Structure 1
């Protein structure tokens, strides 16, 4: 078995026929047929059924196909790394953070990893809501750090931190309100400022909103925070973004009727299961396995 055999087998499965696979790989159809036959003879197992008009995977073939796909993707990643090393260009690690999680003083382990890989080029970006996972799916990022914004079976993820969210308003914003739990009707005509989803394919449905209430949207947490501190709006914010203001008294926590006013969300390290970047895999392993990181994981 060699890579040529695996490429031929995967091409037949994904292109749907021997002829289409031959055209895709710029090979003769007989070459493709011989490659598949060689695999089946080597392992003494039938991978493709030829009974139908188009070749179909046997149960054994389905298992073999999944592993063959992973093997070829890893080989492609290794080949790319080899070219990088040969050209003197260090490997690139692309990270995307949910903007709600950005607290750089908590990224101690990232600093430690960078020190271990001085040749590495690091690129970081922030996204909102569905934009985080979209950055992984589009190949813009290798790894993301974010709450759960629709994690599916194509993703691998592990919890690395907690994020505390609190609902806040300026002290004078509800100065005539004396009830401990504020009725939603009291806030219906007061702007709830929300972060705009940076994703475009599968926007996140808004769950923590006042039904039929007034809403403002912004694309930056600092703008959101300033609107609240200025007494123009109310909303939830990560606790670390208003901790200083809460101590100073420029904002205060409020509890709203039938509303998740104060919650703690798990923060995950996330990647696609098909990720093949060697440096990204090293970073992943370092974040979740390095013993010295147990007391210094991301703090938000």
Structure 2
């Protein structure tokens, strides 16, 4: 058994297929398949079922993978500790950003910080709802920029900025309506953004009970569907302020649908050590929010 084989199993589970895992690990698909085959033959177990289009963990595979995840987490923590002890500059810092964050403001902040640290690469992931924090818990990122996490974990959090979620609808879709009501909204698709979590419990927010819905996995696509009059839904103000100004989109306010103020936090796993650049990034968020 090798570390490379464990990383291969993790990549297959997370990416969903042998091909996607090969792309993620920058290897050929045959080499990925061979690594798993050798491990299965070595211990006379079957880790993945190949009966369906996408490989799935067998019962033995699920038990094996849970233990492997713990081992990989320990390895990454040891790797991070060694980096900190060497007092060298981290080669990269990985950040996951929740789609509801005021992205332009957050990216400006990150750009200004990493311009001062050209030797450290910024690696960004954009996730939705619980997916942002899941990447942090799994050790895939060093920092999550997200609303306050709903899951229990050893988090450190610092308030970073604030945003507002506004439910909107195409102005063309309501041009013949005197008033937008909850009953009117239930007759049109509510465009819902799917939680990108793979393992922890998914959440939904701001859903109008009894309404028709259409679920998408990209916030830009959600915005375009709403602009084109194919439904309505909540979007961060930062993303739609131009469309509100030009009146392409109209805000929705009913007894059940209201604007929501959201605090955006910088979050880290308190159990993991920080290198010098990450310490400086963490310390750059003072009590005053950015913006």
Q: TM-score normalised to the size of structure 1? A: 0.65
Alignment of 1:30-45 (within 5 A): none
Pairing 1:80–2:78 present: no
Question: In terms of mean alpha carbon deviation, does 102-111 or 226-235 score higher?
Answer: 102-111
| Structure 1 stretches lacking a partner, 5+ long | 1-72
1:77 CA drift (Å): 3.2
Work out which of the two has the higher radius of gyration on C-alpha atoms and give 1 or 2. Answer: 1
Residue 108 of structure 1 contacts residue 298 of structure 1 at CA under 8 Å; is this kept in 2? no
C-alpha distance in 1, partners of 2:175/2:115? 51
In 2 relative to 1, CA 112–217 (structure 1 residues): closer, same or farther, beyond 3 Å?
A: same
Alignment of 1:271-286 (within 5 A): 271-278=268-275, 279-286=277-284
Alignment of 1:43-192 (within 5 A): 77-81=80-84, 85=88, 90-179=90-179, 182-192=180-190
1:76 CA drift (Å): 5.8
In 2 relative to 1, CA 213–269 (structure 1 residues): closer, same or farther, beyond 3 Å?
A: same
What SS class does the counterpart of residue 285 from structure 2 fall into?
Answer: helix
Question: In terms of mean alpha carbon deviation, does 191-200 or 114-123 score higher?
Answer: 114-123
C-alpha distance in 2, partners of 1:286/1:77? 21
Pick from 235, 238, 248 the counterpart of residue 237 of structure 1.
Answer: 235
Residue 128 of structure 2 contacts residue 195 of structure 2 at CA under 8 Å; is this kept in 1? yes
C-alpha distance in 2, partners of 1:175/1:116? 50
1:104 CA drift (Å): 3.2
C-alpha distance in 2, partners of 1:117/1:207? 37
Q: TM-score normalised to the size of structure 2? A: 0.67
Q: How large is the RMSD of aligned CA atoms in angstroms?
A: 2.5
1:286 CA drift (Å): 2.1
C-alpha distance in 2, partners of 1:110/1:205? 27
Provide, for residues 102-124 of structure 1, a one-character-per-residue CA deviation record: whole Å limited to 9, x for no partner: 52355443233223322112211
Residue 197 of structure 1 contacts residue 203 of structure 1 at CA under 8 Å; is this kept in 2? no
Q: Which residue of 2 aligns with 1:266?
A: 263
The number of residue pairs the alignment matches comes to 215
| Structure 2 stretches lacking a partner, 5+ long | 1-75
